[in-house]
Structure 1
Amino acid sequence: MSKYIFYAPNPTSENRLSEEESFHASRVLRLKSGDQINLLDGQGGRYAALLDQVDSKKTTFTQLSLLEKQAIIPYQIHIYVAPTKQMERMEWMVEKCCEFGIHGIHFFHSRNSERKEIKLNRLEKIAVSALKQSKNLYLPEISPIKPLSTYMDSLVESASTQRLFAHISDPPVENLSKQLIQNKSYHVLIGPEGDFTPTESADLLRANWTPCSLGKSILRTETACIAATMGIHMVHE
């Protein structure tokens, strides 16, 4: 793989880099016409190409060829999380979940939420950077903040999906790894620092969401997201 890796969502139909990627190629890496690069489309494809015109605002490429098309794994991971007050912790979470491999990171607000706004563009850039750094070829969907009730009502469990929520209780519920049914599309809710309220937990149980434990320790929100993501991957190893 070329050491110069760029994100290009539609390389077969648009032979140019975004303005941000063009600036990076031209001004940061100081690449020249004829230099070999790799392109990731975020949909499982990795391509080789040669730089054509190198400009800080519009860099084009030529001689595109498909190097790899990563197969879609038989399960999906979608994490739903109430963002913390310190956005840096959410940025770190997005980066690490993307490195492990995740299909969607979705934000919600609930009774104990600490934040009602997020910088979606910033998180998307972090996800792209993590995609380029890791060997994962799929860029996850990142969704803006919505009410918890929106996801509770719209996500329907089916033969191909499983809905779970991290639940702190006494006595504790079953661990996530024991609750998982193999090769599903998993939708996992992670509550805010103050956890779900008793009413919210009761509503989730009534709506047939499956409660699960992430271990004996009380985890920070961002740690819980990473633990759930890694836990699901480990079950499928």
Structure 2
Amino acid sequence: MGFSRFYHSGDLGADRQITLSEQAAHHATRVLRLKTDDRVTLFNGQGGEYEATIVQAGKKDVTVKTGAWLDRECESPLNMTLVQAISSGEKMDFTLQKAVELGVAAIQPVISSRSVVRLEGERALKRVQHWQSVVISACEQCGRNRVPLVAPIMSLNHWLEEKVTSTLKLTLSPYAKEGLKEIAAPQGPIVFLVGPEGGFSESEEVSAAVSGFIPVKLGQRVLRTETAALAAISAMQMLWGDF
């Protein structure tokens, strides 16, 4: 994994010429200062990766030629879905970036009663597209060849009504009586729910419990929303995953 990695949304195959996206081309030539004949790695999020070589490096267009396909994966053994109440400013970007680096398989943004940020319509669509680009960049950096999906934004109550099935459903709560180390190792998918800056309301915690979510705490301290999600993922990787 020593070469710079780039995501390509289309089909890939050996011995093909691929034009990188404008964003990837800018990063390749303006940030990484790559040039013709430099070797890179391409992946499309469906597993595995391709060796590739830059054959043309212009200011706006970068073309690469693919070589051999490599069956390389670094996915976590835990199938984790992060259900994150939208946080303000750059906190959400940071949370999603690091969650992907730590191994989450999918992300569901939700709006809860105490969420500061409210997004609807075109603004919501554009924000999800932005978050998906954050996820792709994180995969390029950390070596993952499978790109987690950022689902469309939903209200927390509507999402809970979806009756999501999972082996283990967890919600982080400073009022919980047990921590992750008291939870038995899951034998299937994990869904964990993290609140916004002000936490979940009492009624939301009740709704989560009715939907089968087990409240857990992370120590005796109240963590910020961006800290809580990442601490929980790290703890689960340590207890049940590949840390």
TM-score under structure 2 normalisation? 0.84
Choose which of 215, 228, 232 in structure 1 pairs with 2:219. 215
**CA contact under 8 A between 1:107 and 1:146: conserved in structure 2?**
yes
Q: Unaligned stretches of 5+ in structure 1?
A: none
Could you tell me which amino acid in structure 1 is paired with residue 44 of structure 2?
A: D
Partner residue, 2:173: 167
Give SS of 1:69's match. Answer: coil
Q: Distance in 2 between matches of 1:196 and 1:108?
A: 12
Aligned length: 232
Deviation, 1:188, is: 0.6
Q: Distance in 1 between matches of 2:228 and 2:31?
A: 36
1:11/1:106 Cα in 2 relative to 1: closer, same or farther (>3 Å)?
same
Q: CA deviation at 1:32?
A: 3.2
Matched, 1:34 2:40: no
Q: In the alignment, which residue of structure 1 is the partner of 2:63?
A: 60
- Quote how far apart the aligned CAs of 1:43 are: 3.3
Q: In the alignment, is residue 132 of structure 1 matched against residue 140 of structure 2?
A: yes
- Cα distance in 1 for partners of 2:134, 2:80 equals 18
2: CA distance, partners of 1:58 / 1:11: 19
Instruction: Report the Cα offset of residue 2 of structure 1.
Output: 4.0
Using a 3 Å threshold, how does the CA distance of structure 1 residues 180 and 144 change in structure 2: closer, same or farther? farther
Cα-Cα RMSD: 2.3
Mapped to 2, the partners of 1:29 and 1:71 lie a distance apart of: 24
> Secondary structure, in 3 states, of the residue corresponding to 1:52?
strand
Alignment of 1:12 onto 2:22: no
Pick the aligned partner of 1:186 from 175, 182, 190: 190
Contact 1:167 1:173 (8 Å CA) reproduced: no
- 1:34 is paired with a residue of what secondary structure? coil
Counterpart for residue 3 of structure 1 = 3
Seq. identity, %: 29
Q: Kindly state the Cα deviation for residue 16 of structure 1 after the two structures are TM-superposed.
A: 2.4
Aligned-residue offset at 1:189: 0.8
TM-score of the superposition, structure 1-length normalised?
0.85
CA distance in 2, matches of 1:51, 1:3: 12
